[in-house]
Structure 1
């Protein structure tokens, strides 16, 4: 059996995105250590019987002294723990997890980059300046014979190939972290018919400008000016550590103007989707958007942008949802208007979205593919991961 460290930039991410993977590893008899900066979800992970350790990490820090201190802390931690495999999630954790693993003598590293983040998606001067440096650091961190990189979509694969960051033979594409299809399911047939109420549209996620918040508000303004009774809902909070975070005063102003309803953080996402009719995400770039595959599993019609990562959820406009151009609030308003006028189409798209979620995004499929990557990098040392309780020779 192996000792696996799952390292993420928030305990919230571990709890919401990787808990099922941790449970599967534990079920198969492996020792699992969860590592992240401190937060409110760490104690919840411990309450579930997992060993969670807080790391002295500030997600958005650019302070060289603080970053070197964190790297050295990680090296000491890994030397003490002696894991068989370190799996880092998001760019910073993947880079720092890999660098510290190499320094600590941990041979096997898996790095999951879920979207290219602020540095690669933003047009800000800071992001443009940082981009070449981040590429160089990633190239150094992700190298090695027993290192594997997991990406979530073909667009990111093409970016890594063009930038020559990692040997393409060491890259695997796995579509996100998956969705629990028994928890996220269509609303009951007894629910109020869609036609009997104003269309309820939700954008769920971190409230960052690069999620298309400005375009969503523009669409809401257009629809309101037309006299439509569409309810445009925002579910989530700004991320204060992210340069692209939406100012809370702006959010409150949009609420006062009657453009959006802001729910703040929502812990029960299945309940939210059961009370809404359409899910939208006018994002500029994603790895693979978790909120949208959850909405798809709930049989909600989707409106999403023709952007990297988003195209994996809605492959062709009009099949599992509607696709609009990036940074186009008018097109987004037009797509919402179309579903408001054609509720039968909304139901048809929602049913197709659910079927795609069952085929491609079931978390059990994603977990098995992740374990296959673990086996692939561990096998040279005859430390293979078991599947369904058996040991791979």
Structure 2
């Protein structure tokens, strides 16, 4: 089937008129007003992409708005349960084909990509599938169950059957080709984007007001973690990291109290709740639970530093969001993280290196607030220059 699917010329536009704009279906896994996942970034990209491409959006789940800027055709995939959703996806593909759309871009939409592969003989569409990150990184305690093996097999099969496997940043291109066994000529590079108008620094008065509303004291050094609460994202390192930084003499000498603020949900939440309740931490660990993406800009801009101690990453939007907000970051070198912050960024630790992560946080705590702001603004300028929706829309347009 892969050989048959690759038979279509990749440069052939989805249009009946020579010279007309290409057509693209962007599959959105989930979209709602209170979206807590990174799918909340997609509308800004679609608005920019619509300046170059005739865009149809197929929303699989959620409660999307009636219209999206830049989107010519908005369709919600019908069906609730697995069989119903599969039939609803097939019906959506049929309707999109009749409307003249035969090129699809997907991120992690396993059911949708399976339906596209199965219906390829009928509609002859082209499939661009985004993948980034290393799937084999998991907790030593996590068993490799039959369900996990089946999921890995489906992911491997779909990666090899689509026309192009799309990934980013640059470090991830050869890694993804090796992980999924995809020839280099079928790999494509695409960045993630961040809306630097929505994620932006606060002026001092607004920042002070936000910290007061959040219950953060003026003398607190706020370390913010925003991610899924799982082993892969370094959750097991958070409590030891807090202890190592809070007890450091150079931090105490600055008159600072360290508070770790955790935004997110996931399988390791009970572990963090137990660690936060430890009397030895005296309330210095604040768990916010799942936070809608629309509310994250204020959190980022009010914090002093964002920490990302991940064991596994691909193209982390957490870094993009923090950078656009003008907040310094301390990260590991997992996945493409160094590509995101830049090779000369000083606060990067090897994966799993607790001492290095704690050292970077201690160094930033000792830096005057004005100097941290200057560092954050340099990161913001990089985010605006390299990862804007307009630039990523141009890259995606070039893939068509």
TM range (shorter): 0.7 to 0.9
User: In structure 2, do the counterparts of structure 1 residues 197 and 329 end up closer, same or farther at CA, with 3 Å as the change threshold?
Assistant: same
Equivalent residue runs for 1:163-202 within 5 Å: 163=179, 165-176=181-192, 178-188=193-203, 197-202=219-224
Quote the offset at 1:293 in angstroms: 1.0
Maintained 8 Å contact 2:52/2:397: no
Task: Name the SS for the 1:120 alignment partner.
Answer: coil
What is the aligned counterpart of 1:160 among 176, 179, 188?
176
TM-score normalised to structure 2 length:
0.75
Maintained 8 Å contact 2:304/2:328: yes
User: 2:29 aligned with 1:9, yes or no?
Assistant: yes
Who is 2:321 aligned against?
A: 294
TM-score normalised to structure 1 length:
0.76
User: 2:137 aligned with 1:121, yes or no?
Assistant: yes
Task: Name the SS for the 2:165 alignment partner.
Answer: strand
Deviations 1:96-117 (A, max 9, x none): 354245255242111111434x
User: In structure 2, do the counterparts of structure 1 residues 55 and 289 end up closer, same or farther at CA, with 3 Å as the change threshold?
Assistant: farther
Provide the rounded CA distance (Å) in 1 between the counterparts of 2:53 and 2:169: 31
Q: What 5-or-longer segments of structure 2 have no aligned partner?
A: 1-20, 212-216
Quote the offset at 1:196 in angstroms: 6.0
Q: Which has the higher contact order (CA 8 A, sep 6+)?
A: 2
Q: Aligned pairs, how many?
A: 350
Who is 1:322 aligned against?
A: 347
RMSD: 3.4
User: 2:288 aligned with 1:263, yes or no?
Assistant: yes
Provide the rounded CA distance (Å) in 1 between the counterparts of 2:205 and 2:182: 51
User: In structure 2, do the counterparts of structure 1 residues 3 and 276 end up closer, same or farther at CA, with 3 Å as the change threshold?
Assistant: same
Task: Name the SS for the 1:233 alignment partner.
Answer: strand
Quote the offset at 1:72 in angstroms: 5.2
User: 2:105 aligned with 1:87, yes or no?
Assistant: yes
Quote the offset at 1:335 in angstroms: 1.6
Q: What 5-or-longer segments of structure 1 have no aligned partner?
A: 59-65, 240-244, 376-393
Equivalent residue runs for 1:23-42 within 5 Å: 23-27=47-51, 30-37=54-61, 39=62, 42=63
Quote the offset at 1:47 in angstroms: 5.6
Maintained 8 Å contact 2:93/2:116: no
User: 2:164 aligned with 1:148, yes or no?
Assistant: yes
Task: Name the SS for the 2:89 alignment partner.
Answer: helix
Equivalent residue runs for 1:103-142 within 5 Å: 104-116=122-134, 119-123=135-139, 126-127=143-144, 137-138=154-155, 140-142=157-159
What is the aligned counterpart of 1:333 among 341, 354, 358?
358
Quote the offset at 1:255 in angstroms: 5.1
- Of residues 88-97 and 327-336 in structure 1, the stretch that sits farther from structure 2 once superposed is 88-97
Who is 1:379 aligned against?
A: none
Who is 1:234 aligned against?
A: 262
Deviations 1:72-100 (A, max 9, x none): 55334312431321211126367435424
User: 2:79 aligned with 1:53, yes or no?
Assistant: no
